[in-house]
Structure 1
Amino acid sequence: MLEVLTGRRALERDRTSGDRYLKDLVDEVEDCGSSAAAWRKQLDHRLTSGGAVEHSGCMQLVTLACRCLERKRKKRPAMTKESSCPPINLPPPLPQECSVEALSNQLSRLGPLEDSYLLTLLTHCHPLPPSLSSSLPPPLPPSLVHVRRMRVEGFSQYDLQSPAGSLKSGSLKSASPQPPDLYGVTEK
């Protein structure tokens, strides 16, 4: 419990000061005059920043953890006693629907990561209605559409059989095999 509250490991190894056990921190803080103020300094700032956790709830857990680390076994609280204590009032978690709605709302605002060559290729032959075409990016020139389609479908512009791996001579259209015509659109 103290590991979570302080953000430290149960055993910290340091070359200069040697091994430091987290249970020894309890003794150090108790030696200070105001233990509540000393424990507030020891709490992990990630818990307390932003109002994620109230200090009073943390202090209740610190008190319980210190009692569980008591040197004399008979002074430690019994688990049956601690489990029957009234629970700490926590704010109710957000409903899962709100979280899903918020996430889907954020995702719906994202645009496509990459232009689609197929949509551009189709708009050359079958123009879209003005209501849809105003929200689309400008179409690519036909030469770029062909090069992009070759890259996407795995056709290479390099001659892999030649020892130097040089660029094929001639145009890209005539040098590599034509990809299959998926949409009934033929290129000239």
Structure 2
Amino acid sequence: MLFAHDTETALVAAAALVNTATDGDSLRTVEDLDRFVERYEWTGSRTRDDAELRAVRDLRPRLREIWLGDTGTVVEGVNALLAEHHALPQLVRHDGWDWHLHATSPEAPLATRMAVEAAMALVDVVRSGETGRLGVCAADDCDDVVIDLSKNRSRRYCEKGCANRVHVAAYRARRAKGA
């Protein structure tokens, strides 16, 4: 494991959140957000209304800009998110998770919790000198962000099957060339 479990979980969830905007927008309704929250095991209070949905949707371009920036841009964006949301780091244990870090109360709005969790995870990325692990899918027709959590820094493609699609296309091209 490269980072603490909660950091890796937050990074994967942040990348997935950003990528909901590049796949035809898979966060169009409150029900879509409910499914996302359930899939990535977000805890805490929810209003389950259009305002909450808009706030989460509005977070995506900010996280994408931070994600794709150089280290200075990441630091500036992370510090802005933490200050804006009055982050107060604290150790917590809940829902089968051992001690881990939260920086908001469970009552904070969902978008605030998402912003701060992503920012705190990115703090670990910066402190570890690992901003090179943040990137964009290598498929020519995909703009999804990627977090490379592999030991050998080999992850180049997103979660949507781009690696398989690119490799199959290359295989078919080689076969057609050889035929």
Bucket of the pairwise TM-score, normalised by the shorter protein: under 0.3
What TM-score comes out, normalization by structure 1 length?
0.23
Q: Which structure is higher in RCO with an 8 Å CA cutoff and minimum separation 6?
A: 2
Structure with larger Rg? 1
- Structure with the bigger percentage of strand: 2
What TM-score comes out, normalization by structure 2 length?
0.23
